[in-house]
Homo-oligomer: A and B are copies of this chain.
Amino acid sequence: MPATVPSSAQPGPAQPHTQPNSQQQIRRHNLTRVLNAVAVHEGTASRASVATHIGLTRAAVSTLVDELLRAELLVELGPGRPGGVGRPGSALALTARGPCGIGAEIGVDRLTVCAVDLSGRVRVRAEQCSDNRGSDPRAVLRRLSELLWEAAEQAEEAGLRAAGVAIAVPGLVDRGSGTVVRAPNLGWPAVAPATELTVPLPVTLDNEANYGALAELWLGHSQVPSDFVHVSAEIGIGGAVVLDGRLLRGVRGFAGELGHVPVRPSGRECPCGGRGCLEQYAGEGALLRGAGLPYPSDDDPIALLAERAAEGHRTTRRALREAGTALGIALSGAVNLLDPGAVSLGGALARLGSWLLPPLEAELAARCTAPEGPPQVLLSSAGDDGPVLGAAHSVVRVVRADPLAYAPATLSSLPARR
């Protein structure tokens, strides 16, 4: 049986906040610290440097390192001089084999999966165009199962064993029950993907913008600080709020719904039931319609918009200006309310950043009350892959938070595919 992702484990800083009590807890805690110190200082880590970084004795660290080597979570790269001084130590690294995290994204017009290893390197990636608007969730999840099997098998061929699957969806998620409770852009009824997937791995689920924000935080694509508002601008507009390095969940788990902040309160009707929501002015559909282009579109509509804007196409430029303005209005409210350290713009629309940013920043400058002016707006370089990367990394983070739970004894091969 594959290892189980503890249901209480939530993506977040790898080091637990509470102090461990028993001897056994202290050992597990220290194993986690050693593993994460090697991860952070990969390439230069040795027993001695890890001991310095985490403040344990060299002897204690050696014992812990040996345990992680036996568990096949660390590898020795052979004698080197990682610290640059003293007796040559043996350079340590996270294994390129062993546990991996599988991420998936159910987008409105594609399915994406990837597998990342313990260091966070992407080892497998696959993508399938799929018009999921108004689709039958079971049919989509069947296709996703195929992709997940293929990714897990490819990972296994590379010596990796999937520790779990995390799925990003464009909608409201009840994480407790693993249910997509509302996904207007898919037109799905409430559905629990894990019950439909055939891949024998534990499944966790979250909103795509939440995973996108975690990718920014963990992977440093846009150098976000620990407090920021993330916008995931695609067909829908998702949002996430990160405070002190952790996702703000809200009391019912639905925080971050920036796409339904009113920007033109008497404006266009929105499928959410409101009027004038940001999504109606800055989502992909609004942009394409505003630019006089067909929607939905078979081509890469973002590339088309960028091309037309570059050529000076007036209605395209106006549509981009209006979308940037709408984003700026919604973000001004969010910034005045939260006083974040930055705003990050991810998702497909990040590729249109050079057109969206000037009107967006003009709104922020005019509307933000803080005397120092508005915070910086950062463009994510993860682009469309932010959510799937955040999802895959969230599985790896859980492994790194309690590595022994994922040692070889608890990870098994995939059974024969049905």
Which residues of A are in contact with B by a Cβ distance under 8 Å? 19, 172, 181-182, 225, 227, 239, 241, 243, 248-258, 260-265, 272-275, 277, 329-330, 332-334, 336-341, 366-372, 375
- Which among B172, B241, B369 is the interface contact of A257 at CB below 8 angstroms? B369
Partner of A369 from the list B182, B337, B338 (CB cut-off 8 Å) is B182
Within the complex, the shortest CB–CB distance from A96 to chain B, in Å, comes to: 38
On whether A257 and B336 interact (CB within 8 A), knowing A172-B370, A371-B172, the answer reads yes
Q: Choose one: B255, B258, B337; the contact of A255 (CB below 8 Å).
A: B337
Kindly list chain B residues whose C-beta atoms are within 8 Å of the C-beta of A369. Answer: 172, 182, 254, 257, 260, 272, 274
**Interfacial chain B residues near A370, Cβ < 8 Å:** 172, 252, 254
Given known A251-B225, A265-B264, A275-B366, contact A337–B241 (CB-CB < 8 A): yes
What are 25 pairs between A and B in contact, CB < 8 Å?
A181-B371, A182-B369, A241-B337, A243-B243, A243-B248, A250-B338, A250-B339, A250-B340, A252-B370, A252-B372, A253-B339, A255-B337, A257-B339, A258-B336, A258-B337, A260-B336, A260-B367, A260-B368, A262-B333, A263-B265, A265-B329, A273-B367, A274-B332, A274-B369, A333-B333
Chain B residues lying within 8 Å of A341, measured Cβ to Cβ, are 251
Does the CB pair A262–B329 fall under 8 Å? yes
Q: Which residues of B contact A239 (CB under 8 A)?
A: 337
Task: Add 16 more A-B contacts to A227-B250, A255-B337 (CB < 8 A).
Answer: A172-B370, A227-B251, A239-B337, A241-B337, A250-B339, A252-B372, A254-B369, A257-B339, A258-B336, A260-B368, A261-B333, A262-B263, A262-B329, A273-B366, A274-B369, A277-B367
Residues of B within 8 A of A264 (CB): 265
- Oligomeric state, in number of copies? 2
Are B371 and A256 within 8 A (Cβ)? Answer: no
A257 to B261: give the CA distance in the assembly, Å.
16
- Distance in Å from the Cβ of A288 to the closest Cβ of chain B? 23
Closest to A182 in B: B371
Specify which of B19, B251, B262, B334 is in contact with A367 (CB 8 Å cutoff).
B262
Q: A340-B251, A369-B257, A371-B181 are in contact. Are A262 and B227 (CB under 8 A)?
A: no
Kindly provide the distance from the CB of A229 to the nearest chain B CB, expressed in whole angstroms.
8
Q: How far is the CA of A367 from the CA of B243 in the complex (A)?
A: 25
User: What's the nearest-Cβ distance from chain B to residue A187, in Å?
Assistant: 15
A252: chain B residues within 8 A (beta carbon): 339, 370, 372
Q: How far is the CB of A116 from chain B (nearest CB, A)?
A: 29
Tell me the complex Cα distance, A272–B334, Å.
16
Complex formed: what's the CA distance from A336 to B250 in Å? 9
Q: Would you list the 4 A-B pairs with minimal beta carbon distance, nearest first?
A: A250-B339, A261-B333, A274-B367, A257-B336
Q: Closest residue of chain B to A257, judged by CB?
A: B336
Tell me the nearest residue of chain B to A339, going by C-beta: B250
- Smallest beta-carbon distance A114→chain B, Å: 29
Min CB distance, A348 to chain B, in Å?
Answer: 21
> Which B residues touch A332, using CB under 8 A?
260-262, 274
Closest to A264 in B: B265
Closest to A278 in B: B333
